[in-house]
Structures are given as C-alpha cells and as structure tokens.
C-alpha cells in the first residue's frame, strides 16, 4: 500500500493558505486540519480570519471552533489530539491537508515536542502575579539574564511564553533551552511541506486590506462582546488587544485599526522568520495552485 501523506501548507497571515488548502482538499477529496492557534476558539471569528461558512461547508475542517476561550489548549494537547485524529482519518483517506500559520503547533505535529520537566505551580503563580503588577519588562529582563538562549528565540511580546521559560529555570535550575533538543520523532506517514510567500509590499497590502474587511464585518462588535474575558490568554492577541485599548479609552478607533495593521505585519514577519528556517518547505507564490498540485503529485 502507498504510504499515507500529510500535506502541510504554511506561510504568513493573509497570504491565501485557506483557499489553497480547499483547492487541494477538493482535488484529493479529503479533509483539512487547521493548525491556527486562534481559530480553535469558537468565540473568536472575525479577528482570527476563520474560513467563511461557504469554505467550511466546501470541505470537512477540523480544529476550527473546536474549543472555548475558557479552555486551556496547549501545543502538547494539540499534538496528541491531532495525531489521534490523523490516524483515524487515514483509515478513509490516503492524503490529508494540514494548514496554518502557527509554527509551534505545526512543529509539534510534524516533529513532536520535547518531554518537558515538571514545574512548581507556585512559581508560575508568582510570575503571573509579577507580570500583572509590574508588566512585561520585568519578565523580559529576568528571562534575558536566566536563559539568554531561549530569550533570543522566544516571541518577546508574548508574556505567556516568556513566563514559561522563567518557570522552568526557577523550578528546575535548568534552562528551558536545554530541554529543547529538537530530536525529531518519526511519524508513521509522509509529510510534504508547502510554503506560500510573496513580495513584502504585496503581502503588507493584503494584510491592510484584510484588516479593513474585518472592521466592515464587525470586528469592533465581536471584541465588545468579549470584553468580560479580556484577561484570558486566548484574547491577548492581535486584533483584540488593540480594540480593548480603544474600548478602555486609551486610543481612538482609527489608531487601534492602524495598530492592528502594524502588529499583524510584524506577526507576519515573525512567521516568515520561523518558517524560513525549515529546509523541508518548498515555496510557491499565492495563485500557483497548478504548480503546487504538480509538485505534490510528484511527491506522492
């Protein structure tokens, strides 16, 4: 029997991953698994650029609207649940599509996660308290001192990830970077990785266009409806934090929208930096669906 294949589609936000995934899924008459850490959450739709109702109806999708913002859903949870789902779906399909821009989740599924040490929950509690009282800068400085290697890699605007680095070193006396062995776990299926990218000006213009479209679709109302939950980790993300700042009277709406565009562009840049390190990815321009199909067929 030919080996089962997982086609992985990656790239920056607003590049067109969804439409390519649907095109391929229709061609292979298969299903799509989302690896977008924000589209898991039912309550967040407009600001996470979920596939439209028509797109969701065109092809079966998994891990979209699968969780509530009140549930903790970690990279490790995703690895376990997605692998179980893939094993199940391979009973009826030879090819499956994984699509998303969350590098950590894609890496967890393709390569596996390192076994992480037990940590002291009191230390986590103290660090969260410290972050609440003193802000991100204190956390940043501590991490830069205690684990400079992890600090260099981590998204330094993400308090949760930085606190993760600190809680490990303070609990175990060993740096989180020392646990990140990058030893790949073998998966019982082929993996073919496709990346989408285009020139920066074009991508940035698509991002700006998408943010304007989100505002027209009612992003302001969506964020308002979630104001009671703004302290949840799921909502500390681009498109939501800026509008919360507006609702709190810190900035006007036009400034909030500009900040969403700016922060989304920065996010896209970080995504590309992450994916460019992966030598297994073959890159295409958006709109090169036929070329992608030829490449995948040769890889199968």
- The full set of domain ranges for the chain reads 5-113+183-299, 121-179
Instruction: Report the range out of 41-45, 113-117, 172-176 with the highest average pLDDT.
Output: 41-45
What residues pair up with 282 in beta bridges, in sequence order? 194
Pick the residue with more confidence: 28 or 74?
28
For domain 5-113+183-299, is the CATH number 2.60.200.20?
no
Q: DSSP 3-state assignment of 250? A: coil
User: What average pLDDT does range 7-14 have in this prediction?
Assistant: 98
Q: Read off the pLDDT of residues 261-297 as tens digits, 9 standing for 90 and up.
A: 999 999 999 999 999 999 999 999 999 999 999 999 9
Q: DSSP 3-state assignment of 179? A: helix
pTM of the model: 0.84
What residues pair up with 62 in beta bridges, in sequence order? 33
| Fold topology of 121-179 | Histone, subunit A (1.10.20)
Strand-by-strand arrangement of the 95-99 sheet: 61-62, 32-34, 95-99, 5-10, 190-196, 281-284
pLDDT of residue 107: 92
φ, ψ (nearest 5 deg) of residue 288: -95, 50
Q: Read off the pLDDT of residues 82-131 as tens digits, 9 standing for 90 and up.
A: 999 999 999 999 999 999 999 989 999 999 987 777 888 899 889 989 99
Please give the sequence-ordered ranges of beta strands (E in DSSP) within 80-182, or none if there are none. Answer: 95-99
Both tokens assigned to 257: 């929208």
């Amino acid at each position: 029997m030919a080996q089962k294949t997982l086609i992985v589609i990656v790239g920056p936000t607003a590049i067109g991953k969804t439409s390519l995934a649907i095109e391929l899924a229709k061609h292979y008459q298969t299903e799509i698994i989302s690896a977008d850490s924000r589209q898991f959450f039912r309550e967040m739709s407009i600001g996470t650029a979920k596939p439209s109702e028509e797109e969701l109806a065109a092809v079966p999708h998994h891990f979209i609207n699968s969780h509530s913002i009140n549930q903790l859903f970690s990279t490790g949870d995703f690895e376990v649940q997605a692998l179980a789902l893939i094993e199940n779906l391979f009973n009826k399909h030879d090819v499956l599509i994984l699509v998303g821009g969350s590098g950590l989740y894609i890496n967890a599924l393709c390569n596996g996660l390192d076994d992480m040490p037990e940590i002291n929950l009191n230390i986590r509690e103290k660090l969260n308290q410290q972050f609440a009282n003193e802000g991100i800068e204190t956390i940043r400085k501590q991490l830069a001192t205690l684990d400079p290697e992890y600090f260099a890699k981590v998204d330094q605007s993400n308090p949760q990830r930085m606190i993760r680095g600190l809680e490990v070193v303070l609990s175990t006396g060993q740096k989180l970077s020392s646990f990140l062995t990058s030893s790949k776990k073998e998966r019982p299926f082929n993996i073919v990785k496709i990346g989408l990218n285009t020139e920066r000006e074009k991508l940035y213009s698509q991002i700006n266009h998408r943010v304007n479209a989100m505002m027209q679709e009612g992003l302001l109302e969506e964020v308002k409806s979630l104001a009671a939950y703004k302290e949840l980790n799921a909502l500390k993300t681009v498109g939501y934090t800026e509008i919360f700042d507006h609702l709190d009277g810190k900035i006007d709406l036009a400034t909030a929208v500009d900040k969403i565009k700016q922060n989304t562009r920065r996010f896209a840049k970080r995504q590309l930096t992450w994916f460019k390190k992966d030598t297994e990815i073959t890159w295409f321009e958006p709109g090169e669906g036929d070329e992608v199909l030829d490449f995948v067929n040769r890889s199968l």
